[in-house]
């Protein structure tokens, strides 16, 4: 149990940390990319406003520490930092001029082709070939001019920032994982201790209550022998029997949830166990006006506890017999599917019965309280079944469709000693 709790604790913390890390890294890198785009847009605006002619500027012309001043990015000690070129078209769409003086990594022909593609795109601004941002300046009298800025250096810097941030994030995540693993035992220890004390209390209280209940029951029988049967004595006997059954179920549930290393698991013939349980419930179902049909695949075996699997099957059949509609059919199937053994029960519910399948396995939950009182249900049986399934590393789930409900237990076939 401690290992499972530690795994759940580590999984929960690391999942939350991973989600937070992804959000933070994504936000930081998106902000960097947006900032680069905004700077490029501002610089292209300056270039466009100056019609592609930028005078050399010195430190006295601009404040190089003004981060939001686009001019500060165009000059530093009199040297251009923006690499741009432009192509000017006549009103008729003919190329009038190509200027690549500020960027020698492209020839006039390539610049012309890119400008024509930008004009054909019907977008005033955008990106081309990933690293070129452009803006189109339309003039009614002088045609149009397409200004391009090369952002390959900026993109390389962003790529470096992303790589460093991801690597740093992964390193922090790995360190966090080590720390969480080291402290997980201490974190879950209070819960484990409380759970152990709770189960010990249930066990001790159950054993202590057995004696007074037995005495009350015996006294009721003596009174009945002396004074004859009456409604008060009958009520006492009925309630002591209910209380005795409740204590028994609580002890079974507590034991089923423990699954200690000393638990006796072995290779068991689940087909024989289920068949024997079905045989004992056939008469019960018939007495309650219901029909029990079972299809059990023979010679199936798995690694588990014989008594626990018998108890699991009994709980499912008992639940079906109690809550199946009068005169309806109860079905049980046991079969092998691949590397799994499937145990299923299905029955028809009374009309108007509502079932919350998400809460069926909660302790003391009863979907129809008035119906449960009539049948003597406590809302513990399915909790016991779930605990037994968990102790065998099996899954138990319920599904309701229309007026039918189906319970499915899926056992994984493992090698001896895997559980």
pLDDT single digits (tens) 132-151: 999 999 875 678 999 999 99
Between 379 and 38, the more confident residue is 38
More confident residue, 220 or 348: 348
For residue 403, the tally of other CB atoms under 10 A from its CB is: 15
Does 260 have pLDDT greater than 90?
no
Strand, coil or helix: 58? coil
Is the pLDDT assigned to residue 233 strictly greater than 90? Answer: no
- Four-residue CA torsion sign, 30, 36, 39, 41: negative
- Mean pLDDT for 58-79 is 45
Residue whose token pair is 């005033």: 124
Average pLDDT estimate for 120-141: 86
291-296/329-337 β-pairing = parallel
* Residue 82: predicted pLDDT: 67
Whole-angstrom Cα distance, residue 142 to residue 414?
Answer: 82
Distances (CA, A) of 216 to 66, 186, 222, 232: 90, 46, 10, 13
Angle at alpha carbon of residue 317, lines to 313 and 320, rounded to 5°: 145
At 86 the pLDDT is 92
Highest averaged pLDDT of the listed ranges 75-84, 234-243, 367-376: 234-243
Phi, psi at residue 280, to the nearest 5°?
Answer: -75, -25
Q: Is the pLDDT of residue 2 over 90?
A: no
Q: 401-410 pLDDT, tens per residue?
A: 878 899 999 9
Mean pLDDT (the chain, rounded): 80
Whether the pLDDT of residue 371 is over 60: the answer is no
Contact status, residue 45 vs residue 70, Cβ threshold 8 Å: yes
* Residue 133 pLDDT: 92
Q: Cα(252)–Cα(380) distance, rounded to whole angstroms?
A: 10
**Which helix H or strand E contains 362, and what residues bound it?**
none
* H-helix or E-strand spanning residue 267: strand 266-269
Tokens of 220: 């009721």
User: What DSSP assignment string belongs to 19-81?
Assistant: HHHHHHHHHHHHHHHHHHHHHHHHHHHHHHHTTT------TTTS-TT-TT-GGGGT-BTTB--
- Band (pLDDT 50/70/90 cuts) for residue 313 is very high
The rounded percent of the chain whose pLDDT value lies above 70 is 77
Instruction: Give the global pTM.
Output: 0.51
3-state SS class at 99: strand
Q: How confident is the model at residue 79 (pLDDT cuts 50, 70, 90)?
A: very low
Inter-residue long-range contacts of 126-131, CB under 8 Å, 24+ positions, other chains counted: 130/155, 131/155
Q: What is the DSSP letter of 70?
A: G
CA distance 88 to 108: 12
**Helix 231-258, helix 152-227: angle, nearest 10:** 150
How far from the centroid of its chain's Cα atoms is residue 147's Cα? 50
């Amino acid at each position: 149990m401690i290992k499972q709790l530690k795994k759940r604790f580590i999984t929960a913390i690391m999942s939350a940390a991973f989600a937070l890390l992804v959000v933070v890294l994504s936000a930081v890198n998106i902000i960097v990319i947006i900032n680069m785009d905004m700077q490029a847009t501002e610089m292209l605006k300056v270039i466009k406003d100056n019609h592609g002619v930028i005078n050399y500027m010195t430190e006295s012309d601009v404040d190089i520490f003004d981060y939001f001043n686009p001019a500060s990015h165009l000059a530093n000690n009199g040297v251009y930092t923006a690499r741009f070129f432009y192509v000017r078209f006549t009103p008729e769409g003919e190329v009038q001029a190509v200027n690549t003086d500020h960027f020698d990594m492209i020839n006039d022909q390539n610049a012309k082709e890119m400008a024509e593609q930008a004009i054909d795109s019907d977008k005033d601004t955008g990106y081309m070939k990933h690293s070129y941002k452009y803006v189109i300046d339309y003039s009614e009298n002088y045609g149009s001019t397409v200004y391009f800025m090369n952002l390959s250096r900026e993109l390389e810097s962003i790529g470096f920032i992303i790589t460093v941030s991801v690597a740093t994030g992964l390193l922090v995540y790995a360190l966090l994982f080590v720390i969480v693993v080291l402290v997980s035992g201490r974190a879950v220890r209070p819960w484990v201790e409380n759970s152990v004390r709770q189960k010990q209390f249930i066990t001790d209280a159950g054993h202590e209550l057995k004696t007074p209940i037995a005495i009350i029951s015996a006294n009721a029988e003596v009174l009945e022998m002396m004074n004859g049967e009456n409604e008060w004595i009958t009520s006492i006997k009925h309630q002591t029997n209910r209380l005795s059954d409740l204590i028994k179920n609580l002890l079974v549930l507590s034991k089923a949830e423990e699954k200690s290393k000393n638990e006796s698991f072995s290779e068991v013939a689940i087909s024989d166990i289920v068949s024997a349980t079905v045989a004992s419930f056939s008469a019960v179902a018939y007495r309650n006006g219901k029909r029990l049909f079972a299809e059990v695949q023979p010679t199936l075996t798995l690694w588990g506890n014989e008594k626990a699997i018998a108890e699991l099957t009994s709980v499912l059949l008992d639940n079906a017999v109690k809550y199946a509609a009068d005169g309806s059919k109860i079905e049980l199937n046991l079969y092998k599917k691949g590397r799994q053994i499937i145990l299923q029960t299905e029955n028809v519910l009374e009309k108007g019965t509502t079932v919350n399948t998400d809460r069926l396995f909660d302790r003391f939950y009863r979907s129809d309280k008035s119906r449960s009182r009539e049948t003597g249900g406590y809302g513990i049986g399915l909790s016991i079944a779930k605990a037994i399934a968990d102790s065998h590393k099996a899954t138990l789930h319920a599904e309701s469709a229309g007026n039918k409900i189906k319970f499915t237990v899926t056992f994984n076939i493992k090698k001896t000693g895997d559980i």
